């Protein structure tokens, strides 16, 4: 009975991504935040541009002209970075919104006695990934992990507690894409993988730019603009220096 009521809570809190309307590329909302797609790749004829990732999380900037063989499956992501920190999740942690796996990712001897995570430079150097041991109630359930409301709700909780986390993820192994899929409305495609709602993705990326850039500067990480721009570029967007100048001119003191 408890499991049923919990599932109902998750379902009401986070609607299924399958209910989204068809996705189309929209114009960016200001001159500081631009999609890199239209200016960096030659296009022919009518097209629909999207930032797409395969269900395993591999990043791939894809441009679909409405055709293509849907039977073609997106390629798998590169292997995880050797020596990265690993966050291991199971059903119990997910259903109780338990964030303790974050503090265990570096091992008991590597986490400070006050429960703080490893220092930012070490996180950036080694990167962070997820191992999600999620047992489906129905073993034949074809949904991806990002389509389960309880899994997504755990990531919403994680993002509220550690909003800077995307910058330290193992990008090349697809962890940034998978993280975004947990938080950004999307649709699934066998050929393209996860296709994000472009307007929602813009808002997500810009929000992370504000948070990550300030976090990197706060911890005196070298080249915070470059690192933040690289993160946004992995999700298909270019960030101009003018935006960083505006952030610097209106800096907020940490509360």
> Based on the number of CB atoms within 10 Å of its own CB, is 100 exposed (0-12), middle (13-18) or buried (19 or more)?
exposed
- Average pLDDT value for residue range 60-84: 64
Identify the CA nearest to 28 among candidates 42, 39, 43.
Answer: 39
**pLDDT on residue 47:** 27
Q: Identify the residue with better confidence: 179 or 115.
A: 179
Cα–Cα nearest to 57, from 165, 196, 202: 196
Residue 52 near residue 62, CB atoms below 8 Å = yes
**Has residue 252 got a pLDDT over 80?**
no
Tokens of 109: 């001897």
Q: Can you tell me the distance from the alpha carbon of 27 to that of 46, in angstroms, rounded to the nearest whole number? A: 16
Which residues, at least 6 apart from 246, have a Cβ–Cβ distance to it below 8 Å?
32
Compute the radius of gyration of the chain from its Cα atoms: 19
Which residue carries 């990167």 as its tokens?
127
Instruction: Note the pLDDT tens digit of each residue in 81-131.
Output: 999 999 999 999 999 999 999 988 765 434 444 457 889 999 999 999 999
pLDDT value of position 71: 58
Number of helices (H) and strands (E) in the chain: give both, helices first.
Answer: 10, 8
pLDDT digits (tens, 9 = 90+) for 10-47: 444 444 443 333 333 333 444 555 544 323 323 233 22
Q: In the prediction, which pLDDT does 6 show?
A: 45
**What is the full DSSP assignment across 234-251?**
HTTEEE-HHHHHHHHHT-
């Amino acid at each position: 009975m408890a499991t049923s009521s919990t599932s109902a809570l998750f379902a009401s809190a986070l609607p299924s991504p399958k209910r989204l309307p068809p996705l189309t590329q929209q114009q960016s909302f200001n001159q500081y935040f631009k999609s890199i797609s239209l200016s960096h790749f030659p296009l022919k004829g009518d097209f629909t541009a999207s930032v797409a990732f395969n269900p395993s999380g591999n990043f791939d900037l894809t441009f679909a002209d409405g055709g293509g063989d849907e039977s073609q499956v997106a390629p798998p992501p590169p292997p995880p970075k050797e020596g990265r920190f690993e966050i291991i999740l199971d059903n119990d942690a997910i259903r109780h919104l338990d964030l303790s796996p974050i503090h265990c990712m570096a091992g008991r001897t590597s986490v400070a006695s006050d429960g703080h995570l490893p220092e930012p430079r070490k996180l950036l150097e080694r990167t962070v990934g997820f191992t999600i041991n999620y047992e489906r109630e129905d073993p034949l359930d074809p949904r991806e992990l990002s389509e389960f409301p309880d899994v997504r709700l755990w990531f919403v909780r994680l993002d509220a507690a550690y909003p800077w986390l995307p910058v330290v993820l193992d990008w090349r192994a697809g962890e940034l894409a998978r993280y975004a899929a947990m938080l950004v409305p999307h649709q699934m495609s066998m050929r393209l993988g996860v296709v994000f709602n472009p307007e929602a993705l813009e808002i997500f990326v810009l929000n992370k730019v504000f948070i990550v850039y300030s976090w990197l500067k706060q911890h005196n990480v070298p080249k915070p603009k470059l690192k933040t721009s690289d993160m946004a570029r992995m999700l298909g967007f270019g960030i101009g220096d003018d935006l960083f100048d505006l952030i610097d001119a209106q800096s907020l003191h940490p509360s």
